[in-house]
C-alpha cells in the first residue's frame, strides 16, 4: 500500500466521521494524517513501524491505524462507517463543492440519499433554501452532478434527445449513400436507455472499417449482430448491420418489443421485407393499420390494428392547460402572473397553480394565511386575464398516516387538490399503500400526484401495488397523474392501459417549477403515446369550461 492509498483511507475516514457526526476533533486529526502521509517524501511502508509515531502530524492514533492498514490492508473503523452509509451518500463524496457537513445536512435533514435525487432537489430550487447552501453552491452542485452522471452510462430520453441530431448528421455523412435508421429504445420512446441503436444498410465488417479511426468512436463490444461503441460523454451507440436480414426487417425487429415481434411474425409469417421501402410497407403487406415503433409493445395492439380500433394519437396540441405548477410562492422560479402570461402566449386556456403545502417546509410550503393571500391574488389576476383562468390548487403532502396536511375547511377552498407523498419515502409496501389509499379516499383529493415518487436512474420510488391503487382511484373518482417531468414519468406508462380499462382519468402534468418547465409536458405525451390514452381521458386536455364542469361535479358529489 503506497502513501497515496493510505492518505485516501484517512481522508475518507475523516469525512465519514463528519457525516455521521462523530468526534470532530479526531476527524480533524485524521485529515491531518492524510495530508501528512500524502506529502511524505519516503514511502511509509518502508519505514520501521516505531518511527511512525515520531512523524509530526501522525500521532498515536494515526500511527496505530497506519500499522493496521499496512498489516491487514484495511481499517476496521472505516469499514464500519462505510457499512452505515448509503451508497448514494458515499457517491456524493465524489462531488466537489459539497463537503461532509453539507452532505450530512442533505442526508439527515433533506432525506436525500442519492446523487440523482440531489440534482433533482437543486433543479427544484430546494438546496438554496438551506442554511449555508445558497444559489451559487446550488448551481455548482448542478453542474458537477450533471457531469458526473453523464459519465455513468445511462441516459434519460430527454438527454438522448438533445444528442440525436448530431449523431444522425454524422451517420448521414459517413455512411452515404447507404441507408440508416434509429431504432431501439429511442424509437420506442422509452423513458431511459443505455445506448442509441442504429441499423445501417451495410455489412458489419464494412461498418467497422468505416468507423475505425473515427475520433470519439471507441469499439467496446463486437457481437454477431452488432457493434457497440463508446462515444463522447460516455454515450453508447449500438450499430446493427444487415448481413443476415434485409434492412427493413432489421429496422422492424429492432424497434419492436420481443412480445410484439413474436406475435406479429406468428400472424404474418410471409412478409417479404426485401420488398419493403419503409415500415409502413410492412403493415401494408400484413393488411393491417400501421403501428408506429413506440406502440409496438404488447401483442394486443396488433388485434386493435386488425380491427381498425387504434385511438387517434394523443398530441402535444391536445394539451389545453398546465396542471401542477409551482410559483415563487413556494419553490418555483416565476411569479404566478409570469406563468399565466407564458401560458397565454402558448395558446393555453388555463394553469393550475399547485404550490407546496405547509409540511413541505423545505420548499417554502404555504401555511393557511398564505393560502388565503394567494387566493385573493389569483382572484385579482383572473379578473385581469379573463377568459384565461388560473385555478387555485395545492400539492398537499400525504402525511405518514395518509391524511392531508390541512383541515377540510381549508381543503374546500381550492378548486382542486393534488395529493403527493414527499417525505419518509423509505417504507414497506404495506405502509405506502395505507398512506396512498387513505389519501385517495379523502373526498378533497382530486389528483394523485407522482404515484411512486421515483426519479428515473436515481431513485426507485416506494413500492406500490399499481392495480389496487388504480382500483381505489376508480372507486373514489380520483385522477391519476402522469407526472411528465423527464426524471419522473410517474405513473409508469406500463400501467396506464389498466387505468383506462377501469375508466380512471389520467392527467399529464409537467410539475413545472418555472415557465420553461411547461415544455416537459411533451415527455409525458411521448410515453402516453405508447398506451391507448386519448385526449378524452386526459384531464389536461379538457378545455377550461370542461374542467370547470368536471370540478363542479366532483364538489357536488362530495
Whichever of 279 and 355 has its CB closer to Zn ion, that residue is 355
Q: Smallest distance from the beta carbon of 128 to Zn ion, in angstroms?
A: 17
125 scored as a contact of Zn ion (CB under 5 A): no
Give the per-residue contact string, 153-172, with Zn ion (x = CB under 5 A; - = no): --------------------
- Closest approach, Cβ 334 to Zn ion, in A, equals 14
Q: Is 520 in the site for Zn ion (CB under 5 A)?
A: no
Report the residue number, 181 or 420, with the smaller CB distance to Zn ion.
420
Binding residue count for Zn ion, defined by CB under 5 A: 3
Distance CA(172)–CA(188), nearest Å, equals 21
- Point out which span in 45-53, 175-183, 440-448, 510-518 binds Zn ion (CB under 5 A): 510-518
Binding mask of the shown chain, residues 78 to 97, with x at each position contacting Zn ion by CB under 5 A? --------------------
Which listed range, 24-32, 40-48, 73-81, 506-514, lies at the site for Zn ion (CB under 5 A)?
A: 506-514
Which residues pair with residue 352 across a beta bridge?
323, 391
* Nearest CA-CA partner of 315 in 488, 524, 485: 524
Choices 228-236, 332-340, 398-406, 420-428 (CB under 5 A): range interacting with Zn ion? 420-428
Query: How many angstroms separate the CA atoms of 158 and 178, rounded?
Result: 28
Q: Is 490 in the site for Zn ion (CB under 5 A)?
A: no
What is the smallest separation between the CB atom of 418 and Zn ion, expressed in angstroms? 7
CB of 453 to Zn ion, least distance (A): 8
Part in contact with Zn ion (CB under 5 A); list of ranges 89-97, 297-305, 430-438, 504-512: 504-512
**Of residues 31, 29, 16, 24, the one with CA closest to residue 107:** 16
Query: Between 191 and 397, whose beta carbon lies closer to Zn ion?
Result: 397
Comparison of 117 and 511: residue with beta carbon closer to Zn ion? 511
Residue 487 binds Zn ion (CB under 5 A):
no
Question: Rounded distance, CA 118 to CA 133, Å?
Answer: 13
Q: Which three cell numbers stand for residue 249?
A: 426487417
Per DSSP, the residues of 81-144 read HHHTS-HHHHHHTTSTT--HHHHHHHHHTT---SHHHHHHHHHTT-GGGSTTTHHHHHHHHHHH
Per-residue string for binding with Zn ion, 201-240, x by CB under 5 A?
Answer: ----------------------------------------
Contact window for Zn ion (CB under 5 A) among 161-169, 228-236, 274-282, 417-425: 417-425
* Residue 124 CB, nearest approach to Zn ion (Å): 8
Q: Which residues does 430 contact at the CB level (< 8 Å), separation at least 6?
A: none
Short-list 301, 298, 198, CA closest to 241: 198
Closest CA to 410 of 366, 440, 449: 366
For the bound state, the minimum distance from the C-beta of residue 438 to Zn ion, rounded and expressed in Å, comes to 18
Q: Which helix (H) or strand (E) holds 480?
A: strand 479-483
The yes or no reply on residue 511 touching Zn ion (CB under 5 A) is yes
DSSP string, 249-260: HHHHHHTS-HHH
- Residue 420 binds to Zn ion (criterion: CB under 5 A): yes
Site string for Zn ion, 373-402 (x = CB under 5 A): ----------------------x-------
- Within 8 A by CB and 6+ apart from 382, the residues are 389, 390
The 10 Å CB-count burial string (b at 16+, else e) for 134-173 is: eeebbebbbebbeebbeeeebbbbbbbbebeeebeeebee
* 411, three cell numbers: 381543503
Binding site for Zn ion (CB under 5 A): 395, 420, 511
Amino acid at each position: 500500500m503506497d502513501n497515496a492509498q493510505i492518505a485516501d483511507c484517512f481522508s475518507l475516514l475523516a469525512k465519514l466521521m463528519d457525516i455521521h457526526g462523530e468526534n470532530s476533533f479526531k476527524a480533524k486529526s485524521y485529515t491531518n494524517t492524510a495530508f501528512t502521509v500524502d506529502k511524505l517524501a519516503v514511502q511509509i511502508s518502508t519505514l520501521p513501524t516505531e518511527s511512525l509515531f515520531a512523524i509530526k502530524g501522525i500521532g498515536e492514533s494515526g500511527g496505530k491505524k497506519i500499522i493496521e492498514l499496512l498489516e491487514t490492508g484495511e481499517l476496521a473503523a472505516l469499514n464500519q462507517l462505510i457499512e452505515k452509509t448509503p451508497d448514494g451518500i458515499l457517491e456524493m463524496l465524489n462531488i466537489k463543492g459539497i463537503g461532509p457537513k453539507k452532505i450530512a445536512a442533505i442526508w439527515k435533514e433533506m432525506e436525500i440519499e442519492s446523487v440523482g435525487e440531489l440534482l433533482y432537489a437543486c433543479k427544484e430550487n430546494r438546496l438554496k433554501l438551506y442554511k449555508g447552501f445558497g444559489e451559487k453552491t446550488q448551481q455548482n452542485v448542478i453542474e458537477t452532478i450533471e457531469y458526473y452522471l453523464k459519465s455513468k452510462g445511462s441516459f434519460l430520453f430527454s438527454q438522448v434527445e438533445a444528442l440525436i441530431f448530431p449523431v444522425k448528421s454524422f451517420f448521414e455523412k459517413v455512411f452515404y449513400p447507404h441507408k440508416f435508421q434509429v431504432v431501439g429504445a429511442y424509437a420506442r420512446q422509452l423513458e431511459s436507455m443505455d445506448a442509441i441503436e442504429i441499423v445501417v444498410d451495410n455489412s458489419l465488417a464494412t461498418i467497422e472499417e468505416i468507423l475505425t479511426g473515427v475520433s470519439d468512436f471507441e469499439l467496446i463490444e463486437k457481437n454477431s449482430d452488432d457493434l457497440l461503441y463508446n462515444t463522447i460523454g460516455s454515450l453508447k451507440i449500438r450499430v446493427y448491420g444487415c448481413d443476415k436480414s434485409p434492412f427493413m426487417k432489421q429496422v422492424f425487429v429492432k424497434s419492436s418489443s420481443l412480445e410484439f415481434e413474436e406475435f406479429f411474425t406468428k400472424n404474418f409469417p410471409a412478409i417479404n421485407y426485401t420488398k419493403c421501402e419503409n415500415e409502413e410497407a410492412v403493415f401494408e403487406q400484413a393488411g393491417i393499420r400501421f403501428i408506429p415503433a413506440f406502440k409496438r409493445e404488447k401483442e394486443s395492439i396488433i388485434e386493435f390494428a386488425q380491427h381498425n380500433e387504434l385511438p387517434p394519437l394523443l398530441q402535444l396540441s391536445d394539451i389545453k392547460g398546465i396542471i401542477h405548477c409551482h410559483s415563487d410562492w413556494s419553490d418555483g422560479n416565476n411569479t404566478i402572473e409570469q406563468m399565466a402570461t407564458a401560458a397565454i402566449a402558448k395558446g393555453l386556456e388555463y394553469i393550475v397553480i399547485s404550490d407546496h403545502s405547509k409540511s413541505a417546509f423545505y420548499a417554502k410550503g404555504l401555511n393557511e394565511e398564505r393560502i388565503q393571500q394567494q387566493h385573493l391574488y389569483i382572484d385579482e389576476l383572473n379578473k385581469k386575464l379573463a377568459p384565461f383562468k388560473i385555478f387555485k390548487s395545492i400539492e398537499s403532502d400525504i402525511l405518514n398516516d395518509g391524511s392531508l396536511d390541512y383541515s377540510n375547511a381549508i381543503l374546500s377552498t381550492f378548486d382542486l387538490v393534488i395529493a403527493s407523498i414527499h417525505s419518509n419515502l423509505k417504507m414497506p409496501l404495506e405502509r405506502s399503500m395505507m398512506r396512498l389509499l387513505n389519501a385517495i379516499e379523502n373526498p378533497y383529493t382530486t389528483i394523485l400526484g407522482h404515484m411512486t415518487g421515483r426519479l428515473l436512474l436515481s431513485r426507485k420510488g416506494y413500492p406500490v401495488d399499481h392495480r389496487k391503487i388504480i382500483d381505489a382511484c376508480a372507486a373514489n373518482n380520483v385522477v391519476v397523474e402522469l407526472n411528465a417531468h423527464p426524471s419522473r414519468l410517474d405513473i409508469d406508462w406500463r400501467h396506464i392501459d389498466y387505468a383506462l380499462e377501469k375508466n380512471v382519468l389520467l392527467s399529464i402534468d409537467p410539475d413545472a417549477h418555472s415557465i420553461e418547465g411547461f415544455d416537459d409536458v411533451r415527455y409525458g405525451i411521448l410515453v402516453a403515446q405508447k398506451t391507448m390514452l386519448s385526449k378524452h381521458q386526459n384531464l389536461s386536455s379538457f378545455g377550461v369550461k370542461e374542467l370547470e364542469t368536471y370540478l363542479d361535479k366532483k364538489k357536488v358529489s362530495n
